Structure 1
């Protein structure tokens, strides 16, 4: 198994039925037998489902449900996007069906503030030459920064 170098840019792809469902550029923070740790900073390039981009751009969450209909039909298009505002740190153990994510928000007077923890249930990763493939299971846990709820 090839490990990625610290600082290397990799692409996380969510792949469904052999097609990319999303693509996101990440920077490698660490890559060991314990976990692949990556970060995503504002300005990072991405490709998301056109439905998701439209929902985000128009602030219309109802459009997002169309994405699941497209997935069921096996027909969707990707549109370019850019990660904004939040810094994200992703920790993915190699044999886990989840990743643990920390979302950091801008905070006046501080470089970053932990906004929340996020457990994303997803497939095991398959490493590729330029990154890794997985697939988001669309079930998540949102956890307060102090882990109280």
Structure 2
């Protein structure tokens, strides 16, 4: 038995990563499992995968309109948003989720499989479900060069807006601060997900594109 589940996802299995707020789905994306120890889950995404995302987020990506993106955060705080279809483009993303952690680590590759950047996404510790994992994005991100020689914080303004709107309370803010220190420490020491080698960062086999199941918008119970 693992800390998260009695039955890890098998390599190649579809796992749905969802953001949940106010008991509703905010995003849902199907991914393929690379490896699953129960405590660490490695997933992959690549161009052509169709997901669900807030229409404000989709519009801001297509237009670059930051005002629309900020409005999406306000809509989230108010508990009102609409979902649209979004197809992932251009990059392959290899992701590592660690049980109990307030961040996940992602490695972006170009179309030829060459590393583009590291990306640390701060989020609530994920919860296992029958179809994947549920979490919630906490807006703050850390981006690092492919060789980890440099790094920079991203979306600190969105994080501040989420704080003002009450999406991130003081208790979670303290936990995020602690997670920032842990992520930076692992990055600087080249440890954990940032270690030089590991199957987590192996490009995925030629799996078929994963798809969203009919249950993607439901709220299934956590796996044992």
Shorter-chain TM-score range: over 0.9
> Match for 1:41 among 22, 40, 46?
46
Please give the per-residue CA displacement for 1:55-85, whole angstroms capped at 9, x wherever unaligned: 1222323311111010111100110111111
The CA RMSD measured in Å over matched residues stands at: 1.1
* Matched residue, 2:97: 92
* Matched residue, 2:74: 69
The answer (yes or no) to whether the contact 2:17–2:29 under 8 Å persists in 1 is yes
Tell me the CA shift for residue 45 of structure 1.
1.3
Helix, strand or coil at the partner of 2:110: strand
1:50 matched to 2:44? The reply is no
Structure 2 portions without partners, runs of 5+ = 151-224
Alignment of 1:120-139 (within 5 A): 120-139=121-140
Tell me the CA shift for residue 119 of structure 1.
0.7
Tell me the CA shift for residue 34 of structure 1.
4.0
* Matched residue, 2:120: 119
Output the CA distance in 1 between the equivalents of 2:114 and 2:68.
30
Alignment of 1:10-29 (within 5 A): 10-29=15-34
Q: More strand per residue: 1 or 2?
A: 1
Which is greater in Rg? 2
Q: Which consecutive aligned stretches of 4+ in structure 1 deviate over 3 angstroms post-superposition?
A: none
Q: Aligned residues, how many?
A: 145
Output the CA distance in 1 between the equivalents of 2:58 and 2:15.
22
Output the CA distance in 2 between the equivalents of 1:104 and 1:78.
27
Tell me the CA shift for residue 17 of structure 1.
1.4
* Matched residue, 2:203: none
Helix, strand or coil at the partner of 1:112: coil
The normalised TM-score by structure 2 is 0.63
Please give the per-residue CA displacement for 1:118-148, whole angstroms capped at 9, x wherever unaligned: 1111111111111110011101100011111
Please give the per-residue CA displacement for 1:66-109, whole angstroms capped at 9, x wherever unaligned: 11010111100110111111100110111211101001112xxx
